[in-house]
């Protein structure tokens, strides 16, 4: 799947590199990759806006160039935060009435895509 951001507001941010001296055993969080097949980009953007910043760091909202799919990528602090977010994720899927997939990724120790906290 070839993904692109429709504008700079939704592009993947350049996150700082991991510092093994300052972050030796810190929690790296859980990366969510939520795929919405056959969904309209603007509608997905509107729905995920409800939980942006509420314990969620959005990494990007992308659309597929080669298929009809919108992909939302975000990071939560831990599995407990994911459990709290789960009803909202399911509500978004129901509101879109499309096939959706939720992938969970565990960032490696040196990953740039990791939990670094919510910006205030």
Where in the chain are the domains? 27-105
CATH topology assigned to domain 27-105:
Alpha-Beta Plaits (3.30.70)
SS (H, E, C) the chain: CCEECCCHHHCCCCCCCCCCCCCCCCCCCEEEEEEEECCCHHHHHHHHHHHCCCCEEEEEEEEECCCCEEEEEEEECCHHHHHHHHHHHHHHHHHHCCEEEEEEECCCCCCCCCCCCCCC
The model carries a pTM of: 0.83
Going residue by residue through the chain, which has 120 residues, state the pLDDT in tens, using 9 for 90 and above: 888 888 877 777 777 777 767 766 667 889 999 999 999 999 999 998 887 767 888 888 999 999 899 999 999 988 999 999 999 899 999 999 899 999 999 887 777 677 776 654
């Amino acid at each position: 799947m070839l993904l692109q951001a429709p504008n700079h507001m939704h592009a993947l941010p350049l996150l700082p590199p991991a510092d093994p001296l300052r972050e030796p055993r810190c929690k790296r969080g859980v990366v969510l990759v939520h795929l919405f097949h056959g969904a309209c980009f603007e509608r997905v953007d509107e729905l995920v806006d409800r939980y942006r910043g509420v314990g969620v760091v959005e990494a990007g909202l992308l659309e597929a160039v080669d298929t009809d799919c919108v992909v939302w990528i975000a990071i939560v602090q831990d599995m407990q935060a994911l459990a709290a977010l789960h009803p909202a994720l399911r509500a978004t899927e129901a509101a879109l009435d499309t096939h959706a997939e939720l992938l969970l990724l565990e960032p490696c120790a040196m990953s740039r895509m990791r939990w670094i906290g919510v910006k205030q």
